[in-house]
Structure 1
Amino acid sequence: MQDLFSLKGCVAIVTGAGRGNGFGIAKGLHKFGAEIYSIDLQHKENVEAEGFHQIVGDVTDEKLQEEVCAKAYANCEKTPILVNNAGVTHVEEGKYPRDAWDKTIEVNLTAAFGWTREAAEHMKKMERGSIISISSLGASLGFPANPAYVASKGGIRLMTKAFARDLGKYGVRANNIAPGYIKTEMTIGSFNDPEKRKAREAHMMIKRWGTPEDLAGAAIFLASDASVYITGQDINVDGGWTANGLM
Protein backbone atom coordinates (compact mmCIF):
# COMPACT_ATOMS: atom_id res chain seq x y z
CA MET A 1 0.00 0.00 0.00
CA GLN A 2 2.85 2.42 0.72
CA ASP A 3 3.86 2.35 -2.97
CA LEU A 4 0.31 2.82 -4.28
CA PHE A 5 1.02 6.38 -5.45
CA SER A 6 4.61 5.79 -6.53
CA LEU A 7 5.41 6.67 -10.15
CA LYS A 8 8.93 5.27 -10.10
CA GLY A 9 9.61 3.65 -13.47
CA CYS A 10 6.77 5.56 -15.13
CA VAL A 11 7.27 7.99 -18.01
CA ALA A 12 4.93 10.95 -18.49
CA ILE A 13 4.50 13.22 -21.48
CA VAL A 14 2.86 16.49 -20.44
CA THR A 15 1.80 18.93 -23.15
CA GLY A 16 1.73 22.65 -22.50
CA ALA A 17 3.96 22.16 -19.48
CA GLY A 18 6.14 25.22 -19.97
CA ARG A 19 4.13 27.15 -17.38
CA GLY A 20 0.86 27.24 -15.47
CA ASN A 21 -1.21 24.12 -14.92
CA GLY A 22 0.98 21.89 -17.05
CA PHE A 23 4.12 22.88 -15.20
CA GLY A 24 2.45 22.29 -11.83
CA ILE A 25 1.28 18.84 -12.93
CA ALA A 26 4.66 17.91 -14.41
CA LYS A 27 6.47 18.89 -11.21
CA GLY A 28 4.05 16.84 -9.13
CA LEU A 29 4.43 13.73 -11.28
CA HIS A 30 8.21 14.11 -11.23
CA LYS A 31 8.26 14.46 -7.44
CA PHE A 32 6.54 11.08 -7.17
CA GLY A 33 9.13 9.42 -9.40
CA ALA A 34 7.98 9.80 -13.01
CA GLU A 35 10.36 10.71 -15.80
CA ILE A 36 8.92 13.80 -17.50
CA TYR A 37 8.83 14.95 -21.11
CA SER A 38 7.52 18.52 -21.02
CA ILE A 39 6.35 19.86 -24.39
CA ASP A 40 5.75 23.56 -25.07
CA LEU A 41 6.63 26.39 -27.43
CA GLN A 42 8.40 28.10 -24.56
CA HIS A 43 9.49 27.00 -21.08
CA LYS A 44 9.16 29.82 -18.61
CA GLU A 45 11.87 28.41 -16.35
CA ASN A 46 14.57 25.83 -16.88
CA VAL A 47 14.36 22.70 -14.77
CA GLU A 48 17.72 21.14 -14.09
CA ALA A 49 16.66 17.85 -12.59
CA GLU A 50 17.39 14.29 -13.57
CA GLY A 51 14.56 12.80 -15.59
CA PHE A 52 12.89 16.13 -16.44
CA HIS A 53 13.20 16.80 -20.16
CA GLN A 54 11.98 20.11 -21.60
CA ILE A 55 11.27 19.95 -25.32
CA VAL A 56 10.51 23.06 -27.37
CA GLY A 57 7.91 22.32 -30.01
CA ASP A 58 4.42 22.88 -31.36
CA VAL A 59 1.99 20.43 -29.75
CA THR A 60 -0.03 20.33 -32.99
CA ASP A 61 2.94 18.90 -34.94
CA GLU A 62 2.14 15.27 -35.79
CA LYS A 63 5.80 14.43 -36.42
CA LEU A 64 6.71 15.74 -32.98
CA GLN A 65 3.92 13.65 -31.45
CA GLU A 66 5.30 10.53 -33.11
CA GLU A 67 8.94 11.22 -32.24
CA VAL A 68 8.37 12.15 -28.61
CA CYS A 69 6.09 9.18 -27.90
CA ALA A 70 8.59 6.77 -29.46
CA LYS A 71 11.50 8.21 -27.48
CA ALA A 72 9.71 8.67 -24.17
CA TYR A 73 8.08 5.26 -23.95
CA ALA A 74 10.97 3.22 -25.36
CA ASN A 75 12.49 2.49 -21.95
CA CYS A 76 9.39 2.83 -19.78
CA GLU A 77 9.59 0.21 -17.03
CA LYS A 78 6.16 0.70 -15.53
CA THR A 79 3.22 2.84 -16.70
CA PRO A 80 3.36 5.14 -19.73
CA ILE A 81 1.46 8.35 -18.96
CA LEU A 82 0.11 11.10 -21.19
CA VAL A 83 -1.27 14.39 -19.88
CA ASN A 84 -3.15 16.42 -22.51
CA ASN A 85 -2.88 19.86 -20.97
CA ALA A 86 -1.96 22.31 -23.74
CA GLY A 87 -4.61 24.92 -24.33
CA VAL A 88 -5.37 28.41 -25.58
CA THR A 89 -8.36 30.69 -25.15
CA HIS A 90 -9.86 33.67 -26.93
CA VAL A 91 -12.68 35.72 -25.43
CA GLU A 92 -14.56 38.10 -27.70
CA GLU A 93 -17.97 39.69 -27.49
CA GLY A 94 -20.11 39.88 -30.60
CA LYS A 95 -19.28 38.01 -33.81
CA TYR A 96 -16.69 35.42 -32.82
CA PRO A 97 -13.76 35.28 -35.28
CA ARG A 98 -13.31 32.12 -37.32
CA ASP A 99 -9.53 32.16 -36.97
CA ALA A 100 -9.84 32.14 -33.17
CA TRP A 101 -12.23 29.20 -33.43
CA ASP A 102 -9.87 27.25 -35.69
CA LYS A 103 -6.80 27.90 -33.54
CA THR A 104 -8.55 26.98 -30.30
CA ILE A 105 -9.96 23.73 -31.68
CA GLU A 106 -6.60 22.82 -33.22
CA VAL A 107 -4.58 23.32 -30.03
CA ASN A 108 -7.11 22.26 -27.40
CA LEU A 109 -8.83 19.34 -29.11
CA THR A 110 -7.16 18.17 -32.32
CA ALA A 111 -3.68 18.15 -30.77
CA ALA A 112 -4.99 16.18 -27.79
CA PHE A 113 -6.47 13.67 -30.22
CA GLY A 114 -3.13 13.38 -32.00
CA TRP A 115 -1.11 12.83 -28.83
CA THR A 116 -3.66 10.34 -27.51
CA ARG A 117 -3.77 8.42 -30.79
CA GLU A 118 0.03 8.18 -30.94
CA ALA A 119 0.52 7.34 -27.26
CA ALA A 120 -2.21 4.71 -27.41
CA GLU A 121 -0.28 2.67 -29.98
CA HIS A 122 2.62 2.30 -27.54
CA MET A 123 0.35 1.73 -24.54
CA LYS A 124 -1.58 -1.05 -26.30
CA LYS A 125 1.65 -2.94 -26.98
CA MET A 126 2.68 -2.54 -23.34
CA GLU A 127 -0.83 -3.47 -22.14
CA ARG A 128 -0.93 -0.60 -19.67
CA GLY A 129 -1.12 3.17 -19.64
CA SER A 130 -2.86 6.22 -18.20
CA ILE A 131 -4.16 9.06 -20.35
CA ILE A 132 -5.18 12.19 -18.42
CA SER A 133 -6.85 15.05 -20.25
CA ILE A 134 -7.35 18.47 -18.73
CA SER A 135 -10.85 19.63 -19.53
CA SER A 136 -12.60 22.48 -17.69
CA LEU A 137 -15.71 23.77 -16.00
CA GLY A 138 -16.51 24.77 -19.56
CA ALA A 139 -16.69 21.12 -20.60
CA SER A 140 -20.14 20.88 -19.04
CA LEU A 141 -21.21 24.47 -18.30
CA GLY A 142 -21.86 27.42 -20.57
CA PHE A 143 -19.53 30.42 -20.35
CA PRO A 144 -19.93 33.71 -22.25
CA ALA A 145 -18.08 35.04 -25.30
CA ASN A 146 -15.88 31.97 -25.75
CA PRO A 147 -17.66 29.28 -27.78
CA ALA A 148 -14.43 27.79 -29.13
CA TYR A 149 -12.99 27.09 -25.68
CA VAL A 150 -16.23 25.61 -24.39
CA ALA A 151 -16.60 23.44 -27.51
CA SER A 152 -12.99 22.25 -27.34
CA LYS A 153 -13.21 21.32 -23.67
CA GLY A 154 -16.56 19.61 -24.12
CA GLY A 155 -14.96 17.68 -26.96
CA ILE A 156 -12.00 16.72 -24.77
CA ARG A 157 -14.37 15.40 -22.11
CA LEU A 158 -16.25 13.05 -24.44
CA MET A 159 -13.24 12.16 -26.59
CA THR A 160 -11.58 10.86 -23.43
CA LYS A 161 -14.59 8.68 -22.67
CA ALA A 162 -14.51 7.33 -26.23
CA PHE A 163 -10.83 6.41 -25.89
CA ALA A 164 -11.52 4.86 -22.48
CA ARG A 165 -14.09 2.62 -24.16
CA ASP A 166 -11.75 1.61 -26.98
CA LEU A 167 -8.59 1.13 -24.93
CA GLY A 168 -9.90 -0.52 -21.79
CA LYS A 169 -9.46 -4.01 -23.22
CA TYR A 170 -5.73 -3.28 -23.53
CA GLY A 171 -5.38 -2.23 -19.91
CA VAL A 172 -5.15 1.45 -20.84
CA ARG A 173 -7.15 3.99 -18.83
CA ALA A 174 -8.35 7.45 -19.89
CA ASN A 175 -9.77 10.06 -17.51
CA ASN A 176 -10.42 13.79 -17.29
CA ILE A 177 -9.46 16.41 -14.74
CA ALA A 178 -11.78 19.42 -14.88
CA PRO A 179 -10.18 22.43 -13.18
CA GLY A 180 -12.16 25.34 -11.84
CA TYR A 181 -10.67 28.82 -11.79
CA ILE A 182 -6.93 28.33 -11.36
CA LYS A 183 -4.69 31.36 -10.95
CA THR A 184 -2.41 31.33 -14.00
CA GLU A 185 -1.31 33.75 -16.70
CA MET A 186 -4.43 32.74 -18.65
CA THR A 187 -6.80 33.82 -15.86
CA ILE A 188 -4.85 36.64 -14.22
CA GLY A 189 -6.99 39.30 -15.92
CA SER A 190 -10.13 38.02 -14.19
CA PHE A 191 -8.26 37.51 -10.91
CA ASN A 192 -7.04 41.11 -10.90
CA ASP A 193 -10.49 42.52 -11.70
CA PRO A 194 -12.25 42.94 -8.31
CA GLU A 195 -15.76 42.55 -9.76
CA LYS A 196 -14.95 39.45 -11.82
CA ARG A 197 -12.93 37.93 -9.00
CA LYS A 198 -15.82 38.37 -6.54
CA ALA A 199 -18.35 36.91 -9.00
CA ARG A 200 -16.22 33.82 -9.57
CA GLU A 201 -15.45 33.30 -5.89
CA ALA A 202 -19.20 33.33 -5.18
CA HIS A 203 -19.43 29.94 -6.93
CA MET A 204 -16.63 28.38 -4.91
CA MET A 205 -17.29 26.43 -1.72
CA ILE A 206 -13.61 26.68 -0.91
CA LYS A 207 -13.21 30.44 -0.99
CA ARG A 208 -10.00 30.79 -2.92
CA TRP A 209 -8.78 30.37 -6.47
CA GLY A 210 -6.92 27.18 -7.21
CA THR A 211 -3.22 26.88 -7.99
CA PRO A 212 -1.51 24.66 -10.56
CA GLU A 213 -0.20 22.58 -7.66
CA ASP A 214 -3.81 21.83 -6.66
CA LEU A 215 -4.14 19.81 -9.87
CA ALA A 216 -1.04 17.73 -9.21
CA GLY A 217 -2.69 15.49 -6.60
CA ALA A 218 -5.48 14.43 -8.95
CA ALA A 219 -2.94 13.81 -11.72
CA ILE A 220 -0.73 11.70 -9.46
CA PHE A 221 -3.78 9.69 -8.39
CA LEU A 222 -4.92 9.04 -11.98
CA ALA A 223 -1.39 8.23 -13.16
CA SER A 224 -0.66 5.77 -10.35
CA ASP A 225 -1.84 2.30 -9.39
CA ALA A 226 -4.12 3.96 -6.84
CA SER A 227 -6.62 4.44 -9.70
CA VAL A 228 -5.93 1.21 -11.59
CA TYR A 229 -9.66 0.35 -11.83
CA ILE A 230 -10.83 3.85 -12.78
CA THR A 231 -11.42 4.89 -16.38
CA GLY A 232 -13.75 7.12 -18.37
CA GLN A 233 -14.30 9.43 -15.40
CA ASP A 234 -14.27 13.17 -14.69
CA ILE A 235 -12.62 14.56 -11.57
CA ASN A 236 -13.65 18.15 -10.84
CA VAL A 237 -10.89 20.10 -9.12
CA ASP A 238 -12.95 23.26 -8.81
CA GLY A 239 -13.30 24.23 -5.15
CA GLY A 240 -16.87 22.92 -5.20
CA TRP A 241 -18.04 25.12 -8.10
CA THR A 242 -20.04 22.46 -9.98
CA ALA A 243 -21.63 21.11 -6.78
CA ASN A 244 -22.73 24.51 -5.48
CA GLY A 245 -26.49 24.83 -5.78
CA LEU A 246 -26.99 28.28 -4.24
CA MET A 247 -24.88 31.41 -4.49
Structure 2
Amino acid sequence: DIFVSNAGVCEFADFLTISPDLVDFTIKTNLNGAFFAVQAGAQQMARQEPKGGSIIGISSISALVGGAGQTHYTPTKAGVLSLMQSTACALGKHNIRCNALLPGTIRTQLNDEDMADPEKKKYMEGRIPLGRLGKTQDLAGPAVFLGSDLAQYVSGAQLLVDGGLFVNLQ
Protein backbone atom coordinates (compact mmCIF):
# COMPACT_ATOMS: atom_id res chain seq x y z
CA ASP A 1 0.00 0.00 0.00
CA ILE A 2 1.01 3.59 -0.60
CA PHE A 3 0.04 6.66 1.39
CA VAL A 4 0.90 10.20 0.30
CA SER A 5 0.61 13.04 2.81
CA ASN A 6 0.21 16.30 0.93
CA ALA A 7 -1.10 18.92 3.35
CA GLY A 8 0.14 22.42 2.68
CA VAL A 9 -0.75 26.08 2.92
CA CYS A 10 1.58 29.02 2.37
CA GLU A 11 0.45 32.60 2.74
CA PHE A 12 3.41 34.94 2.49
CA ALA A 13 3.76 37.28 5.46
CA ASP A 14 6.26 39.70 6.98
CA PHE A 15 8.04 38.18 9.99
CA LEU A 16 7.71 41.28 12.17
CA THR A 17 3.97 41.60 11.66
CA ILE A 18 2.73 38.05 11.06
CA SER A 19 -0.32 37.22 13.12
CA PRO A 20 -0.31 34.40 15.67
CA ASP A 21 -3.44 33.05 13.95
CA LEU A 22 -1.63 32.64 10.61
CA VAL A 23 1.33 30.95 12.30
CA ASP A 24 -1.00 28.59 14.19
CA PHE A 25 -3.06 27.79 11.07
CA THR A 26 0.08 27.03 9.04
CA ILE A 27 1.54 24.75 11.72
CA LYS A 28 -1.76 22.94 12.29
CA THR A 29 -2.28 22.36 8.58
CA ASN A 30 1.24 21.61 7.37
CA LEU A 31 2.82 19.82 10.31
CA ASN A 32 0.07 18.58 12.60
CA GLY A 33 -2.01 17.55 9.59
CA ALA A 34 0.90 15.60 8.14
CA PHE A 35 1.73 14.00 11.50
CA PHE A 36 -1.75 12.65 12.18
CA ALA A 37 -2.39 11.63 8.56
CA VAL A 38 0.90 9.70 8.46
CA GLN A 39 0.12 8.13 11.82
CA ALA A 40 -3.29 6.93 10.57
CA GLY A 41 -1.77 5.53 7.38
CA ALA A 42 0.97 3.77 9.34
CA GLN A 43 -1.54 2.27 11.79
CA GLN A 44 -3.41 0.70 8.87
CA MET A 45 -0.22 -0.59 7.25
CA ALA A 46 0.97 -2.10 10.56
CA ARG A 47 -2.39 -3.87 11.11
CA GLN A 48 -2.79 -5.40 7.69
CA GLU A 49 -1.40 -8.69 6.42
CA PRO A 50 1.11 -8.64 4.97
CA LYS A 51 2.39 -5.71 6.98
CA GLY A 52 4.10 -2.87 5.23
CA GLY A 53 3.85 -0.18 2.65
CA SER A 54 5.26 3.11 1.53
CA ILE A 55 4.52 6.50 3.06
CA ILE A 56 5.51 9.59 1.11
CA GLY A 57 5.47 12.98 2.80
CA ILE A 58 5.32 16.03 0.56
CA SER A 59 7.80 18.43 2.12
CA SER A 60 9.33 21.30 0.13
CA ILE A 61 12.60 22.75 -1.07
CA SER A 62 11.75 25.29 1.64
CA ALA A 63 12.71 22.64 4.20
CA LEU A 64 16.32 23.26 3.13
CA VAL A 65 16.41 27.01 2.45
CA GLY A 66 14.95 30.08 4.09
CA GLY A 67 12.43 32.51 2.72
CA ALA A 68 11.81 36.00 4.07
CA GLY A 69 8.07 35.79 3.52
CA GLN A 70 7.90 32.16 4.64
CA THR A 71 9.26 32.24 8.20
CA HIS A 72 6.17 30.40 9.42
CA TYR A 73 6.06 27.98 6.46
CA THR A 74 9.66 26.76 6.14
CA PRO A 75 9.80 25.25 9.66
CA THR A 76 6.65 23.23 8.95
CA LYS A 77 8.09 21.74 5.78
CA ALA A 78 11.39 21.03 7.57
CA GLY A 79 9.21 19.30 10.15
CA VAL A 80 7.62 17.10 7.48
CA LEU A 81 11.09 16.11 6.26
CA SER A 82 12.15 15.29 9.82
CA LEU A 83 8.89 13.40 10.37
CA MET A 84 9.65 11.18 7.37
CA GLN A 85 13.16 10.51 8.65
CA SER A 86 11.94 9.66 12.15
CA THR A 87 9.05 7.51 10.95
CA ALA A 88 11.48 5.62 8.70
CA CYS A 89 13.29 4.65 11.92
CA ALA A 90 10.12 3.95 13.89
CA LEU A 91 8.24 2.00 11.24
CA GLY A 92 10.94 -0.09 9.58
CA LYS A 93 10.12 -2.99 11.90
CA HIS A 94 6.65 -3.02 10.30
CA ASN A 95 8.16 -3.05 6.78
CA ILE A 96 6.91 0.49 6.22
CA ARG A 97 9.17 2.74 4.16
CA CYS A 98 8.93 6.50 4.70
CA ASN A 99 10.39 9.08 2.33
CA ALA A 100 9.97 12.74 1.47
CA LEU A 101 9.49 14.53 -1.81
CA LEU A 102 10.75 18.12 -1.80
CA PRO A 103 9.11 20.04 -4.63
CA GLY A 104 10.59 23.29 -5.81
CA THR A 105 8.34 25.90 -7.39
CA ILE A 106 5.34 24.02 -8.73
CA ARG A 107 2.63 25.84 -10.68
CA THR A 108 -0.46 25.77 -8.43
CA GLN A 109 -3.07 28.16 -7.13
CA LEU A 110 -0.53 29.18 -4.46
CA ASN A 111 1.42 31.16 -7.07
CA ASP A 112 -1.39 32.33 -9.39
CA GLU A 113 -0.83 35.94 -8.38
CA ASP A 114 2.93 35.76 -9.01
CA MET A 115 2.42 34.10 -12.40
CA ALA A 116 0.07 36.91 -13.46
CA ASP A 117 2.96 39.38 -13.11
CA PRO A 118 5.26 38.95 -16.17
CA GLU A 119 8.34 40.20 -14.28
CA LYS A 120 7.82 37.82 -11.34
CA LYS A 121 7.13 34.95 -13.72
CA LYS A 122 10.34 35.64 -15.65
CA TYR A 123 12.33 35.87 -12.39
CA MET A 124 10.89 32.64 -10.99
CA GLU A 125 11.47 30.69 -14.19
CA GLY A 126 14.95 32.20 -14.64
CA ARG A 127 16.19 30.71 -11.36
CA ILE A 128 15.37 27.18 -12.50
CA PRO A 129 18.00 25.53 -14.74
CA LEU A 130 15.30 23.64 -16.64
CA GLY A 131 13.72 27.03 -17.41
CA ARG A 132 10.17 26.43 -16.22
CA LEU A 133 8.07 25.97 -13.14
CA GLY A 134 7.17 22.44 -12.27
CA LYS A 135 3.76 20.98 -12.96
CA THR A 136 1.88 18.89 -10.45
CA GLN A 137 2.39 15.97 -12.84
CA ASP A 138 6.16 16.32 -12.35
CA LEU A 139 5.71 14.87 -8.86
CA ALA A 140 3.91 11.78 -10.12
CA GLY A 141 6.94 9.87 -11.43
CA PRO A 142 9.03 10.33 -8.29
CA ALA A 143 6.03 9.39 -6.12
CA VAL A 144 5.38 6.27 -8.19
CA PHE A 145 9.06 5.32 -7.88
CA LEU A 146 9.09 5.77 -4.09
CA GLY A 147 5.88 3.80 -3.78
CA SER A 148 7.05 0.95 -5.99
CA ASP A 149 9.20 -2.12 -5.43
CA LEU A 150 11.95 -0.33 -7.36
CA ALA A 151 12.45 1.62 -4.12
CA GLN A 152 12.04 -1.32 -1.75
CA TYR A 153 15.35 -0.50 -0.02
CA VAL A 154 14.79 3.26 0.09
CA SER A 155 13.60 4.64 3.42
CA GLY A 156 14.32 7.90 5.19
CA ALA A 157 15.33 9.56 1.91
CA GLN A 158 14.58 12.98 0.50
CA LEU A 159 14.14 13.57 -3.20
CA LEU A 160 14.25 17.09 -4.64
CA VAL A 161 11.84 17.65 -7.52
CA ASP A 162 12.78 21.19 -8.47
CA GLY A 163 14.16 21.42 -12.01
CA GLY A 164 17.62 22.04 -10.53
CA LEU A 165 16.57 25.10 -8.49
CA PHE A 166 18.29 24.04 -5.25
CA VAL A 167 21.70 23.59 -6.83
CA ASN A 168 21.34 26.94 -8.62
CA LEU A 169 20.56 29.03 -5.52
CA GLN A 170 23.54 31.32 -5.07
What is the CA deviation profile of residues 19-69 of structure 1, one whole-angstrom value per residue up to 9, with x for unaligned ones?
Answer: xxxxxxxxxxxxxxxxxxxxxxxxxxxxxxxxxxxxxxxxxxxxxxxxxxx
- Please, which runs of 5 or more residues in structure 1 have no aligned partner? 1-79
**Counterpart in 2 of 1:123?**
45
Matched, 1:105 2:17: no
Given candidates 102, 122, 139, the residue that maps to 1:198 is: 122
Matched, 1:89 2:10: yes
Higher percent of residues as helix: 2
2:45 aligned counterpart, secondary structure: helix
Task: Report how far residue 117 of structure 1 moved.
Answer: 1.1
TM-score normalised over the length of structure 1: 0.65
Task: Report how far residue 242 of structure 1 moved.
Answer: 0.9
Change (3 A) 1:115 1:236: same
**Counterpart in 2 of 1:160?**
84
Task: Report how far residue 245 of structure 1 moved.
Answer: 5.6
| In 2: Cα distance, 1:177 partner to 1:118 partner | 19
What is the CA deviation profile of residues 43-98 of structure 1, one whole-angstrom value per residue up to 9, with x for unaligned ones?
Answer: xxxxxxxxxxxxxxxxxxxxxxxxxxxxxxxxxxxxx2211112111212241111
Task: Report how far residue 166 of structure 1 moved.
Answer: 0.6
- Alpha-carbon RMSD across the aligned residues, in angstroms, is 1.3
1:177 aligned counterpart, secondary structure: strand
Task: Report how far residue 137 of structure 1 moved.
Answer: 1.2
| In 2: Cα distance, 1:222 partner to 1:156 partner | 16
Alignment: residue pair count = 167
Higher relative contact order (CA closer than 8 Å, sequence separation 6+): 2
- Please, which runs of 5 or more residues in structure 2 have no aligned partner? none
| In 2: Cα distance, 1:143 partner to 1:188 partner | 18
Given candidates 164, 179, 199, the residue that maps to 2:103 is: 179
Q: Which amino acid aligns with 1:238?
A: D
2:66 aligned counterpart, secondary structure: coil
| In 2: Cα distance, 1:180 partner to 1:243 partner | 11
Given candidates 160, 163, 166, the residue that maps to 1:239 is: 163
Percent of aligned positions that are identical: 37
Q: Which amino acid aligns with 1:107?
A: T
**Counterpart in 1 of 2:56?**
132
